[in-house]
Structure 1
Amino acid sequence: MDLWDRTGRIGGYGAALALTPYLVIKVSWVIGSLLGLAPIGAGFDVTGWVVLNTVTVGMAATGIAVALALVRPWGARLPGRPLAFCAWVGTGFLVPLLPYAVLGSLLLPSDDGPRSGADDDPAMPGWEAVLVQIGFVGMGLGLAVALPAYLRRRWPGVFAGRTGDGGSGPPRVPPWPAVTAVAIAAVWLYWAAGGTAGIAHPAERDLTGRLLTGVLSGWSLLAAAATWTIARGRPARLPRRVPLALCWLGSGALFAWSAWKLPFTLYLALARPADAALPENLLVAAVLHVVAVGTGAAMLRTLVRARAGREGVPTGPEPAPGPSPAGASP
């Protein structure tokens, strides 16, 4: 086991350990809500609150399982594509929160730290908020270390070489995901800077939401640039791992965050609770999230085609790998 694998193993175990308190907290919220022992989030009835937090329980459990699968022997026997997809969604959720957490510690008031979005509750005790924050940041850091080691073991040829060396994938990858990502980033950056077009409830805007929107707009721009580089093979001689990593993270952020926010936006549009609202016009927000989900998925397709072009393999279903030695990948 080389240094990459040892570091990845530490990252995977660390990610799973960091997110475990979040899972426990969410389970306690579900049980407490059903028993009438825990407060209900603003804008929700008991059923809606339990459903929302049950979903986050499933997401947390999946994240812990993915982190362990990246480093445990049984994970090497799983089909690569489903595991890579789950890791793509997980890193899309959490790695973008790393610069957000840093900027939030510098710019946000001490009582208004980084949050995850729709599942925040004003009655959350301070110690729970700290554990949630540690869970998100720790999981993001752990995946950022464990995932590259896993991908390097499983598909080493994808990351070798430089752009423009004949291994950049099919030459006619459609450029439209890069264009739509730039458009989405422009809208989000405009809102983050204080723009009011498309804002229905200006009073609901706060620095926390604007900061997260600005960070996501930056990841969208990075994903657009990386996708264009992968599709065109320019600038030449750039190490391939750079645009691949940026496309992976940025496309995952577009897909994961908008796929999470879209159901909440639709819920507000249909239920129209009196005590909850988004700053953005709900129709505009829903359209943006739909486009972002489609753009992120199309960028993932670009990554898959780049892998196929680099290794000369088909993009169809991957045969299930056979048993492998402990700690190795098929």
Structure 2
Amino acid sequence: MSGVGRWDRTGRWGAYGAALALLPYLLIKMSWVVGSTLGVAPIGEGFDLAGWVVLNTVTIGMAAIGIALSLALVRPWGMRMPGRLVAFCAWTGSGFLVSVLPYAVLSSMLDAARGGPGGGDSGGGDAMPGWEAALVQFGFVGMGLGLSLALPAYLLRRWPEALTRRVGQGHGALARGSAGTAAAVGLGWLYWALGGTVGITHPAERDTNWYLLSALGALWALAGSAALWTLVRKRSARPRRLLPALGWLGSGSLFAWSGWKLAVTVLVASAHPSDVIPPENPTMAAALHLAAVAAGLGMLRTLVHTPKEALPEAT
């Protein structure tokens, strides 16, 4: 009971923290729209007024949805909403943001070590001030961390068996196949992150950000795979909450991050923009992202549909 209570308390703090972290981002975006419309704030480079307003209005809506989603994971009205819709949105959002979370921290540290951006204006009057950039980054970091804590607690609160049951025999093959696919994808990304050149068409286009994102994608893919594989093999009557939580976050990262990257890869390969040259071979990159999306969905199905096998009730 005390363990469940700690999970619930941590998740509630995470949900409120995620909503509060994203609030400055929402206010900044609103100030950009109002300021640019009134002519007292600059328009982003490469945009006209209409495009700038539309872009930031969309991000305002996304931020509002993110705040509402965070509160749905902790407020009583969130328990009355369709559970699958809330869980799927939170799974996708947390999966995407946990990939960005370490990246934002590490890239900031590397920029600071190089004496890079952090000071804000880089020469143009339209550049984002340093304090705004810090608040925007804080919003994404806080949202990612908060959702990663709030989602498992919400699952445990609404479906107690979701984080206490083990993978059943009926879904063992799906679990092993999904875990194996996730591991293969993770090892492929890790190979690239360590400097491997197979599947790399333009090695000179690899930069620090690319290496970081490849390594972090590999980390979550391998963590989720290892968690699910352990759940398949272990046959203990003791509830294991950390492993399913890692499985949820790892599968969400595979699905959300690779789903977005797959769309970008296909778009770039089709349009051939002159200013965008991905390091990876498009076919290889698309295959890895497609496999990652499939693995993420397979892991989710396994975690959601596994039968309860006489485990202790979570209260």
Contact 2:33–2:57 (CA under 8 A) maintained in structure 1: yes
Q: Report deviation, 1:258.
A: 0.9
Aligned partner of 2:223 in structure 1 is 222
Matched residues in 1 for 2:146 and 2:291: separation?
A: 29
Aligned partner of 2:148 in structure 1 is 144
Alpha-carbon spacing, 1:106–1:310, altered in 2? closer, same or farther (3 Å): farther
Matched residues in 2 for 1:240 and 1:253: separation?
A: 21
Contact 1:8–1:147 (CA under 8 A) maintained in structure 2: yes
Alpha-carbon spacing, 1:208–1:30, altered in 2? closer, same or farther (3 Å): farther
Matched residues in 1 for 2:75 and 2:230: separation?
A: 34
Q: Report deviation, 1:267.
A: 2.1
Aligned partner of 2:189 in structure 1 is 188
1:68 is the counterpart of 2:79: no
Contact 1:112–1:208 (CA under 8 A) maintained in structure 2: no
User: What are the within-5 Å matches in structure 2 for residues 118-267 of structure 1?
Assistant: 123-160=127-164, 167-173=166-172, 174=174, 175-230=176-231, 232-234=232-234, 236=236, 239-267=239-267
Contact 2:161–2:308 (CA under 8 A) maintained in structure 1: no
Partner SS, residue 111 of structure 1: coil
- Count of aligned residue pairs for this structure pair: 293
Matched residues in 2 for 1:274 and 1:304: separation?
A: 44
Matched residues in 2 for 1:235 and 1:102: separation?
A: 37
Contact 1:158–1:310 (CA under 8 A) maintained in structure 2: no
Matched residues in 1 for 2:23 and 2:50: separation?
A: 24
Q: Report deviation, 1:125.
A: 4.1
Q: Which amino acid aligns with 2:43?
A: L
Deviates more, 1:266-275 or 1:241-250: 266-275
Q: Which amino acid aligns with 1:215?
A: L
1:97 is the counterpart of 2:103: no
Give the structure-2-normalised TM-score: 0.79
Matched residues in 2 for 1:27 and 1:310: separation?
A: 50
Q: Report deviation, 1:233.
A: 3.6
Matched residues in 2 for 1:13 and 1:220: separation?
A: 27
Partner SS, residue 197 of structure 2: coil
Q: 1:40 aligns with which of 37, 46, 50?
A: 46
Contact 1:158–1:311 (CA under 8 A) maintained in structure 2: no
Partner SS, residue 309 of structure 1: coil
Contact 1:29–1:38 (CA under 8 A) maintained in structure 2: no
Segments of 5+ residues of structure 1 without an aligned counterpart are 114-121, 162-166, 313-330
Aligned partner of 2:81 in structure 1 is 78
Matched residues in 2 for 1:134 and 1:91: separation?
A: 15
Matched residues in 2 for 1:305 and 1:251: separation?
A: 15
Q: Deviations over 1:102-153 (max 9, x none)?
A: 544555545268xxxxxxxx95443332122101111122223322322221
Aligned partner of 1:8 in structure 2 is 11
Segments of 5+ residues of structure 2 without an aligned counterpart are 119-125
Root-mean-square deviation (CA), in Å? Answer: 3.3
Q: Report deviation, 1:9.
A: 3.0
Aligned partner of 2:116 in structure 1 is 111
Contact 1:40–1:49 (CA under 8 A) maintained in structure 2: no
Contact 2:167–2:303 (CA under 8 A) maintained in structure 1: no
Contact 1:200–1:281 (CA under 8 A) maintained in structure 2: yes
